[in-house]
Each structure stands twice: as C-alpha cells, then as structure tokens.
Structure 1
Amino acid sequence: MSPFEIISSTIAVIAIAVNIAALLFLGLQVRQGVQNAAAVDKARQEEWVRRRKEASMQFYMSTLDRREHRMSTLPPDRDGVAIKRYLEDVESDNSKHSAVRTYLSYLEMLGTGVNSGVLDIEVIELYAGGTIVATWNNYGEWIAKTRVKFQSPRIYCQFEMMARDIAQRRSIPMWAPDSIEQVKASASDESAIEIGKL
C-alpha cells in the first residue's frame, strides 16, 4: 500500500467516523427536541387545567349572590318535604314558578359549562356536589313531569348529566323515574300529555 492510499484510507475512515458522530449528535438533538416538545405540551395542558379550575372557582364565587337570593326564596336543596310542598303551588303561583325556573336554569348553565369542559367537574363537585345531587333528587320528578308536559326531553338535561356524573363519582343514589308511565301518571295535566320519550 502506497503512502497516498494510506492517507486516503485514513481520511476516509476519519470522514466516516465524523459522519457517524454527526448523525449520532443529530439523533440526540432530535430526541431532545421531541422530549422538550412533550414537556412543553404537558406544561400547556397542566396550565390549561389549572386555568379551567381557577375559572370554575371564579364562576362559582361570582354567582354566590344569585345562590344566596335563591336560598331566601326557595326551600333548602336537601329538604325534600319542603320542596315537594313548594312545588305543589308552582303552577298556580307565578313568582314561585319563576324562582324554580331561574334556579334550575342556573344549574342547567352550570351543567352546560361542566359537561362541555369549560368548567371543571372536580372543582364544582368539591364546592357543591352534594347540593347538586340533592337538588336533582328533590326536583327531578317535577323536571320529568315538565318534560312530558311540554314534550321536550331535553329540559334541564345538562343539569341532570352533571348531577349523574357527580352521583357516580361519589357512589350515591340519584332519583330516576321507574318508567315514563310513572311520570305520565303523576303529571298534573294528563290531558295535555301525549306519548313521547324522555
């Protein structure tokens, strides 16, 4: 082997070694970039969850005076007997009917926020989970009758889905009619009820 071939072979080996080192370095850089992107994505998701929880707390606190006003008008959410008596007069008393609709509409709005992911279910459950389920348990029959009466199965459905989710998380029972016939039989204006689906 001539000196030129030795030098040429040495340069080729060095060039191969440099290329291999460059490829390894590039591979490590790509790997580090992927890890950094995953870390940034995870940090973004954690920040989004934190902000959603914060927004949930702010929303709930900003509606505190509305809930306080409701407490002065309606019976306590957990007092099933008082609520049942109150609901007996709702159809004939516009102010009572308005108070019930306003409160249930608030819970429907809260449920819409929770069910769409805008508000955080964990925060809402911690703040008011028991109250939400108790409210559904005590107003559920009236809501079911209203759905039948107006042939509108989606009335307060977001509230119901939120209450059901919280009840499942807490492993507590939730009111549900035994059947559509039970609801129809107990509805106040049976002549206005046609066969429909809940």
Structure 2
Amino acid sequence: METSEAITSLVNIAALFFVGAQVLLARRAIRNTTAAQQDEWSRLRKQATIDASISTAQYRESLKADLPWNDRDPGEVAEFLRAAAGDPEKLAPVRQYLNHLEDVAVGVKQKVLDIDTLSMLSGSRIVDTVDNYASHIENVRKQLKRPQIYIELEELANRLRTLN
C-alpha cells in the first residue's frame, strides 16, 4: 500500500466518522425537537382547556336567570325540571347548556382539551351536572329518538369520576 493510498484511506475513515457523528447529532436534535413540540402541544391543550372552562363559566352565568342557580344540588335541579316539564321554552336553556358541555366532551375525546386540567377546573361540576340532569337527558333521548345524544358528555363524566 502506497503512502497516498494510506492517506486516502485515512481521510475516508475520518470522513465516515464525521458523517456518523453528524447523523447521531441530527438524531439527537430531532428527538429534542420532537419532545419540545410535544411539550408545546400539551401546553396549548391545557391553555385551550382553561379558555373553554372560562367560556363555560361565563355561559353558565348568562343562563342563571333561566337555570337553577346551584346545579350541584340534586333537589334544586329536580324541582326545576318538575316545574319546567312540558315547557320547551323553559327547557331550552338546559339543552343549550348540555349541548355546550357535549362540545367540551368532544374536545376532550379528540385530545384538543386536556382532561387533567378540566378535572382540576370543573370536573366535579360536570359530574354533578350529568348526574342531576340524567332524567332530562333520558327524556331528550326518547323525545328525539336518539339514544346516543349526550353520550360523549356521559363518558366524560365517567372519566372525570375516576380522576376526582
């Protein structure tokens, strides 16, 4: 082997080592970028959940004139539903509120919203709302002949029960 061949081989080996090191560094950078992207997506889901929770609170506040003030009280909700029975105008705000919560539930299911953050902010309220309006939900299903209506909301409430 001549000196020039030895030098060429040494340069080729050094180049391969350099390329290998660059590949390893690129893989590490991609891994770090992916982790950072996942962290950012998680932060955005949490922020969207906080925004949705604030929106829900404001929406509930706007419906207080029409809905029971304390929707966590089963007796108060039951009395409201008895008094409003058969009156679509009085029951419309309930449907609107449940529809809003169903939208939130779909957001959680699609991983747009973060269930842990939602649980901390309003998990028990959602569970109580589903429990206290269960008879109304069943009536709506029968009336509309749609047994799947509010199913996402009920599934969300069941998941929140395990977190609280």
Identity between Structure 1 and Structure 2 (%): 35
Residue 78 of structure 2 corresponds to residue 113 of structure 1: no
Q: Which runs of 5+ in 2 are unaligned?
A: none
Structure 1: how far apart are the matches of 2:96 and 2:85? 15
Residue 82 of structure 2 corresponds to residue 88 of structure 1: yes
Over residues 41-95 of structure 1, what are the superposed CA-to-partner deviations in whole Å (9 max), with x where a residue is unaligned? 1111211211121122123223432111233432212101111121123332333
| Residue identity in the other structure for 1:38 | R
> 2:18 matched to which residue of 1?
25
> 2:34 matched to which residue of 1?
41
Q: Which runs of 5+ in 1 are unaligned?
A: 1-7, 171-198
Bigger drift between 103-112 and 86-95 goes to 86-95
Aligned pairs for 1:44-193 within 5 A: 44-75=37-68, 76-170=70-164
Give the structure with higher Rg (CA).
Answer: 1
The alpha carbon displacement at 1:120 in A equals 1.8
Structure 1: how far apart are the matches of 2:158 and 2:125? 12
| Residue identity in the other structure for 2:46 | K
| Residue identity in the other structure for 2:151 | C
Aligned Cα RMSD in Å? 1.8
TM-score, with structure 1 as normaliser: 0.74
Alignment: residue pair count: 163
Runs of 4+ in structure 1 displaced over 4 angstroms? Answer: none
The alpha carbon displacement at 1:27 in A equals 0.6
Structure 2: how far apart are the matches of 1:84 and 1:91? 10
| Residue identity in the other structure for 1:150 | L
